[in-house]
Amino acid sequence: MRSLLRLRPSLTPGIKSLPWQWQFTRSQPLSYTAIRHCSCSDKPEAPTIPPTDHRALGTAQELFTSSVYSPGSPLFLPNGTHVVNKLISFLRTQYLQYGFREVLTPTIYKKSLWEISGHWQNYKDDMYEVTGRGASGEAEGEVGEDESYGLKPMNCPGHCLLFKSQNHSYRDMPVRYADFSPLHRNEVSGSLTGLTRVRRFHQDDGHIFSRPQQIKSEITSALGFVDMAMKTFGLGPYRLVLSTRPEKDFIGTLEMWDNAEMQLREALDSTGREWALNEGDGAFYGPKIDIQLQDQAGKYHQLSTIQLDMNLPQRFELEYQVAEGEPDYNPATPGVATPVLIHRAIFGSLERFLALLIEQHGGHWPFWLSPRQAIVLTVNQDDAVVRQAQEAAAKFAGFRALVNDGTAESPRPLSSVDSTFLVDVDTSAQTLGKKIQRAKQMKYNLIFILGSRDLAEGGITVDVTGQMQSKTDKDAQTLQALIKARLGDDALQNPRAVKLSLDEVHPLLVELEKNFV
């Protein structure tokens, strides 16, 4: 399709992955079915991948690929990057109302930091070690640049450095940081699977530094955030599992553990959902709540985690000012108290979350997430029709200038609040039937058809069958309301196409974009 023109808005980069734990649970890779040819060589074929698997769908929809030069590190194509950035944009918007402030932290830290956190002693084999070249002009006594470095497998030590860099009062608490920077974990090559088991990933990583008496409210808020996200993306069911204090080798007092676990139980009870107890399976530094999501095949995946941590704040000597008479005032350390650290991730690994989304929707994306939102097809190659198709696509995409070869002729500054969409144009010489067939195979949400009659009437025809296949009910409801208003109740029986004026299309796309709310 050499005449296919793609109009794409600018994308906002971002990224992230799985919550930090000392004990990492390794999920089982997806199973394969091996097939052998009956031949004299008896040479086995490569394992087959079911067409509903996220790897097959990811290839078909041009979402991501991989390379032998970086095993376990997905390369996201423009379509996949669009979806990932939509996920990040969604979370960033929610962070404002949940009190989180986004931060940026380094990808690489010196070994001495990982020794403070304890990761070098307990997690070194799963980290990537990097050696610096050395540097001149270092002051005597400073740690040299030739010290070993480690790529970060989690963000919590960096967030502890941020908290420690400023003075905090009990009135400032809780302090909430969010981070999307990439993480690296040296997974065994045999365990690498698509997007569900990778070495480089992104996590919607959040860390909350709170007072002990704030634990329940923060956990309740985090559980509400998780539930809202699951409902928004149509995922589920999911289950909640509370893991409590191990029998031995834990840090902190029994009183601290009992108080923390009580607040977690009360937060879980407040959700109104059933939850399971995993007695004695908590980490040595604090209890946790796991959110396990069930996929289309009925298998549960570890997704979100809410983990209490009484270890890192002590290791990094974190403190905040507290007045005498406050509940967290300790006469042994007058004037200061140690915060409780809460690790939390809503999506967990964005890569794993995307894999579940791909399989959930089966390639039929809701409009607001779709990497192929709309396409304009020309009935013929008449110059006036082709020109109008290009102008219409630019108008639908939210640009105010004609787009040629994928760029606007006279670009204007676009505000972050401007609604822009992915609109392609097919002006090839293929028959309209073949164009429509291909557009449906590529799973465009909306197919606009423009011919000489549409040109004369100043309108355009939109084929809505692709959008009606969306698993998001709100998308179909919005279109049904439009069809009913245009064509009456009878047209709702088997709607295929609706005639619109060119000015009506962009507002319709804006309405569909809002449907995830």
> What does the pLDDT profile of the chain (517 residues) look like in tens digits?
444 555 544 333 333 333 333 333 333 333 333 333 334 445 445 567 777 889 999 999 999 999 999 999 999 999 999 999 999 999 999 999 999 999 999 999 999 999 999 998 888 889 999 876 654 444 443 555 667 899 999 999 999 999 999 999 999 999 999 999 999 999 888 888 899 899 999 999 999 999 999 999 999 999 999 999 999 988 888 999 999 999 988 888 898 899 999 999 999 999 999 999 999 998 888 999 999 988 777 888 888 889 999 899 999 999 999 998 899 888 888 999 999 999 999 999 999 999 999 988 888 898 999 999 999 999 999 999 999 999 999 999 988 666 566 666 666 777 766 788 999 999 999 999 999 999 999 999 999 999 999 989 888 988 877 666 655 566 777 777 766 776 666 555 555 678 888 988 998 888 888 877 5
User: What is the C-alpha separation between 424 and 464, in angstroms, rounded?
Assistant: 16
| Partners of 202 in beta bridges | 182
The token pair at 4 is 């296919």
Sequence-separated (6 or more) residues with CB below 8 Å from residue 187:
72, 126, 197, 198, 199
Q: What pLDDT is attached to residue 430?
A: 94
Q: What pLDDT is attached to residue 264?
A: 95
Q: What pLDDT is attached to residue 123?
A: 84
Q: What pLDDT is attached to residue 473?
A: 62
Q: Which CATH architecture has domain 364-516?
A: 3-Layer(aba) Sandwich (3.40)
95-107+152-349 to CATH, choices 3.30.1300.10, 3.30.930.10, 3.40.50.880, 3.30.110.30: 3.30.930.10
Buried b (16+ CB within 10 A) or exposed e, 296-318: eeeeebbbbbbbbbbbbbeebeb
Q: What pLDDT is attached to residue 45?
A: 58
At residue 260, the 3 state secondary structure works out as helix
Q: Are 265 and 256 in contact (CB under 8 A)?
A: no
Question: N- to C-terminal Cα distance for the chain?
Answer: 36
Domain map of the chain by residue range? Answer: 95-107+152-349, 364-516
Q: What are phi and psi of 90, to 5 degrees?
A: -60, -50
Q: What pLDDT is attached to residue 137?
A: 42
Q: Are 328 and 211 in contact (CB under 8 A)?
A: yes
Q: What pLDDT is attached to residue 409?
A: 67
Q: Is 144 exposed, middle or buried (0-12, 13-18, 19+ CB in 10 A)?
A: exposed
Distance of CA 166 to the CA centre of its chain: 30
The token pair at 429 is 């010489």
Distances in Å between the Cα of 151 and the Cα atoms of 102, 485, 497 are: 20, 57, 53
